[in-house]
Amino acid sequence: MWLANTKADLRARLSSEKAPVILVPTMGALHPGHASLIDLARIKAGANGTVLVSIFVNPIQFDRAEDLESYPRTLEPDLAICNEHGADGVFVPKGGEMYFPDRSVTIIENNLANHLCGTTRPGHFDGVCTVVLKLFNLTRCDAAVFGEKDFQQLAIIRRMLRDLDLETEIISHPTIREPDGLAMSSRNRRLTLEHRADTPRILRALESASTGNTPQQILSDARDILEESPFGKIDYLSLVDAETLAPAETLSSPTVLACAVFYGNIRLIDHVDISPRA
């Protein structure tokens, strides 16, 4: 498995690799959820294709400076996971390699990003779209694998590809969870023991409320369970149309019940899909 730290080195390495090139974009601090994405990429690439993992803590998608500063950076264990799960190469850009000091172009999505995380993290998805497009351009990947835990991110990336006529295939992988139901996240390792013990209530709230008969009942039931926490603070709780991500007024089409909850300064997100009511 090779390692590239510069764009020039990445291009040189990829020039001798075989198609298809399947990219797994990450910010590092890898866990079994990321490993499952690499495994899926390996399957999609086949024995002769190329699996490339990128590890880059993207500064322009953080809305809070303290979140960027405290984001876990665990390169050596990350590289071991990449190697164990069949990555052919890893791109770890250093310092200012990804952005010019006077950069003046940003990719902005103006519809789907106006809901959910986009309402409480201004500029977040601009940073996501910009770095993902740069990675696609740098790697010329045939496909990229993303986790469904970040379902709004996935929807926005798909919209970006559609609207900009990009041909990269987007492959999604279901959310990987801890045995108690907490969605796996690089941020989980920063939770205190007390906070970690309380976090299964997030999925419990979403799943319990999803059986409600009206949007109002679903949101009320979920909020009641989340607000019983002595530690968690709701950032948002929303029931949205699964396609437009706009607030759902009925249950006649597929919807998503989604939330973000702060435990201290650790922000956790999760969601459940809700099928249309007959």
Kindly list the catalytic residues: 34
Work out whether the CA dihedral 212, 218, 221, 222 comes out positive or negative.
positive
Among 207, 147, 150, which Cα is nearest to 174's? 147
Other beta carbons within 10 angstroms of residue 107's beta carbon come to: 17
What does the block give as tokens for 198? 């309380």
3-state secondary structure the chain: CEEECCHHHHHHHHCCCCCCEEEEEECCCCCHHHHHHHHHHHHHHCCCCEEEEEECCCHHHCCCHHHHHHCCCCHHHHHHHHHHCCCCEEECCCCCCCCCCCCCCCCCCCCHHHCCHHHHCCCHHHHHHHHHHHHHHHHCCCEEEEEHHHHHHHHHHHHHHHHCCCCCEEEEECCCECCCCCECCHHHHHCCHHHHHHCCHHHHHHHHHCCCCCHHHHHHHHHHHHHCCCCEEEEEEEEEECCCCCECCCCCCCEEEEEEEEECCEEEEEEEEECCCC
Place of tokens 């709230």: 205
